[in-house]
Amino acid sequence: MPPPRTGRCLLLLGLVLGSVCVTLGSQAQASLTTDALNVLLIIVDDLRPSLGCYGDKLVRSPNIDQLASHSLLFQNAFAQQAVCAPSRVSFLTGRRPDTTRLYDFNSYWRVHAGNFSTIPQYFKDNGYVTMSVGKVFHPGISSNHSDDSPYSWSFPPYHPSSEKYENTKTCRGPDGELHANLLCPVDVVDVPEGTLPDKQSTEEAIRLLEKMKTSASPFFLAVGYHKPHIPFRYPKEFQKLYPLENITLAPDPEVPDGLPAVAYNPWMDIRQREDVQALNISVPYGPIPVDFQRKIRQSYFASVSYLDTQVGHLLSALDDLQLANSTIVAFTSDHVSALRTNS
């Protein structure tokens, strides 16, 4: 894992979990037409505040922690909706789900609610080149199967080619066979295409930064990372950072007393994974074996550290290309994923 860069100098770094707030420093008050600042928006899927900068003593996140040390760090941020599509549409339009009328994945706000502008669309309409890499909008109907193109982006968004293997049989099990598992530490050279989606997204984002370095126009670059969203498919070396004997169980594993049935998520998407199916856990409240709980948390934390290295590579490129002094960086998660496990 590369160490955080010590010489990083950005005008303002916005670190947000649960909601996006891109704020401008005093140097950013110049005219858009003369001294416009670039914007790098990093969106992470299902990231909890399981980071060193939020006081977590176990998780190794040196690059994000370095970013946070020069940032406005939000301590009281909330997701509008605990599901990817409505949360992302909410903070990218600046409107609540009650306004966008999106609470799930099944509608496009411009058709069913209103032709609301997005943050990248605003920048695009004001002379910026706007670019999307990875998972920025949730794919599918909720972004019109186009990541809200052409409204939000100057050219078609980039999606990594290896994304299509995320839920396929690429996880080597103890039996030596390949499985579609929840827990999926991999040897990257052995997976299809010899790479992973977030690695490809970092490479593409750096390529775009190199291209924009010589551009006369300012840019808005949104980079969406998949991890630590399930499945926990990450380079296996990161698992070694978290020995199972160091992994604690969730402090609040029980279903709350009096919880309405409609409020409980029986995590059916997780139950479909082969390694979870093998546990034969009863629906909906069946307990997860304690040893598997530890493995889930181990792989989540390992996925966070893998993500952290990608953020480090991206920010290092911003430095190396001498774009740091003219770029605002904002970092956010779409919503908090649940590390609570029933026991």
Domain positions in the chain: 38-333
The confidence score (pLDDT) of residue 232 equals: 98
The confidence score (pLDDT) of residue 29 equals: 36
What does the alpha-carbon distance between residue 160 and residue 110 come to, in Å, rounded to a whole number? Answer: 26
The confidence score (pLDDT) of residue 11 equals: 34
Backbone dihedral region of 193: left (phi > 0), alpha (psi from -120 to 50 degrees) or beta? left
Catalytic residue among 138, 159, 179, 335: 138
What is the DSSP secondary-structure string of 237-300? GGGGGS-GGGPPPPS--SPPTT--GGG----HHHHTSHHHHTT-PPTTTPPPPHHHHHHHHHHH
CB 138 within 8 A of CB 100: no
Please tell me whether residue 171 adopts helix, strand or coil conformation: strand
The confidence score (pLDDT) of residue 6 equals: 34
Report the predicted TM-score, pTM, of the whole model to 2 decimal places. 0.89
pLDDT digits (tens, 9 = 90+) for 241-269: 999 999 999 888 888 899 998 888 888 99
Q: Which residues of the chain have pLDDT under 70?
A: 1-34, 336-343
Catalytic residue among 21, 53, 84, 171: 84
The confidence score (pLDDT) of residue 33 equals: 44
Q: What topology is assigned to 38-333 in CATH?
A: Alkaline Phosphatase, subunit A (3.40.720)
The confidence score (pLDDT) of residue 144 equals: 95
What is the DSSP secondary-structure string of 98-114? HHHT-SSSS--HHHHT-
Question: What's the gap between Cα 47 and its chain centre?
Answer: 6
CB-count burial class (<10 Å; 0-12, 13-18, 19+) for 140: middle
The confidence score (pLDDT) of residue 34 equals: 55
What does the alpha-carbon distance between residue 13 and residue 25 come to, in Å, rounded to a whole number? Answer: 9
The confidence score (pLDDT) of residue 343 equals: 28
Residue 84 known to be catalytic: yes
CB-count burial class (<10 Å; 0-12, 13-18, 19+) for 260: exposed
What does the alpha-carbon distance between residue 15 and residue 35 come to, in Å, rounded to a whole number? Answer: 23
